Amino acid sequence: MHTTPIPVPDEASRLLAATGAPPRLRAHGELVHGVAVALLSWLSDHHPRLPVDAEAVRFGAAVHDIGKTEHPEELTGPGRRHEEAGELLLLSRGVPARLARFCATHGDWSAEGRTMEDLLVSLSDKVWKGARVEGLELLLTRRIAAEAGLPDWEVFASLDDALQALADGADARLAHQARYPVAPYPHAR
The type of residue at 178 is: A
In contact, 65 and 86? CB cutoff 8 Å: yes
Low-confidence ranges of the chain (pLDDT < 70): 1-5, 184-189
Helices (H), the chain: 10-18, 23-46, 54-63, 81-92, 97-100, 102-105, 116-127, 134-148, 152-168, 170-178
DSSP 3-state of 69 = helix
**What is d(CA 69, CA 134) in angstroms, rounded to the nearest whole number?**
30
HSE at residue 151, side-chain half, CA atoms within 13 A, is 3
Question: Phi, psi at residue 63, to the nearest 5°?
Answer: -115, 5
pLDDT digits (tens, 9 = 90+) for 50-66: 999 999 999 999 999 99
The whole-angstrom separation of Cα 119 and Cα 124 is: 8
Count of residues making up the chain: 189
Cα distances (angstroms) measured from residue 103 to each of 33, 42, 59, 97: 14, 24, 10, 10
pLDDT value for 5: 59
- Residue 31: Cβ-neighbour burial (10 angstroms; 0-12, 13-18, 19+): buried
For the chain, list the domains and their CATH numbers: 10-178 (1.10.3210)
Query: What pLDDT does residue 186 have?
Result: 53
Count other C-beta atoms under 10 Å from residue 41's C-beta: 14
